[in-house]
Amino acid sequence: MSAPPPFPSRPRVGLVGFGAFGRLIARHLAPHAGLTVHDPYLPAATLAARLAADAGPHAVAADLAAAADCPLVILATPVASLAEAVRGLAPHLRPGTLVVDVGSVKTGPAAILQAELPVDVEILATHPLFGPQSAGESADGIRGLKIAVCPLRGRRALRAAAFLRRGLGLDVILTTPEAHDRAMASVQGLTHLIAKVLVAMEPLPTRMTTRSFDLLMQAVGMVRHDAPEVFHAIERANPHAAAVRQRFFALARRLDAELSAEAEFSAEPVHAGPDRLAS
């Protein structure tokens, strides 16, 4: 069913999903590999235009079977549709193929990959701890940026982790799906939660600001344009996110209660007159 390999002299990589993150992958793998790209939702013309812009001559659009025929297949689909993507992919994979995912949560996706992929297929679950924004921020591109990596099955998964470190210069953090999701429930859960609330409070001052507020809004700026799927993966698909949220809200409520209780000791609002500010 699959066409002859289009890049005889390069390592062949299949890429399933060509949204914001799939495109970022293509830009950084194009110098190293020949990419066979499949996206079930993009119109053919859109996909072709994106491929030309992001990977130049080192990528071709193809059907799922052709992408699956590569020795390395990267799944860059939303976490919520991973199961569907894996089930569609599984029948086309050759023994020994390495499948890599890149989602923001790892416990659920790792279970899906291990349950749905043939036992002779190797698995590396990853979460690049950056998006197109941070990757575009530095002159070094993605060099030095962090990626969490869970080798789930096979020796090629370990070799791929080594390539991420030496080939792409990433800061590779070896972890487990459980440890990853616990950390990200705080790291991404809190960042996105705070960002959502602050964006809802806009307009906020931009001229009369402190350095710490500027840093806060810089953090907000890095995640405010993330796709809704990313927010939902972080806040709902991560099994620990709800508990972190509850803890944040409980502590915030306690702080608010403390501030309100203290305020009651001043009989009037503190700005009512000079006396109210005396200690």
| Positions 236 through 265 that interact with its own copies (CB under 8 A) | 236-237, 239, 242, 244-245, 247-249, 251-253, 255-256, 259-260, 262-263
Q: Does the footprint of its own copies cover residue 48 (CB under 8 A)? A: no
Q: Which of residues 13-32 bind its own copies (CB under 8 A)?
A: none
Q: Which residues contact 161 (CB under 8 A, 6 or more apart)?
A: 124, 149, 151, 172, 174
Q: Measured from the CB atom, is 62 or 105 closer to its own copies?
A: 105
Among 6, 10, 20, 186, binds its own copies (CB under 8 A): 186
Q: Does the footprint of its own copies cover residue 119 (CB under 8 A)? A: no
Q: Does the footprint of its own copies cover residue 79 (CB under 8 A)? A: yes
Among 1, 44, 45, 115, binds its own copies (CB under 8 A): 115
Q: Does the footprint of its own copies cover residue 219 (CB under 8 A)? A: yes
Among 108, 122, 142, 168, binds its own copies (CB under 8 A): 108
Q: Does the footprint of its own copies cover residue 222 (CB under 8 A)? A: yes
Among 45, 211, 228, 267, binds its own copies (CB under 8 A): 211
Q: Which of residues 143-182 bind its own copies (CB under 8 A)?
A: 145-146, 148, 173, 175, 179-180
Q: How near is the Cβ of 38 to its own copies at its closest, in Å?
A: 18
Site size for its own copies (CB under 8 A): 87
Among 129, 160, 168, 230, binds its own copies (CB under 8 A): 129
Q: Does the footprint of its own copies cover residue 139 (CB under 8 A)? A: no
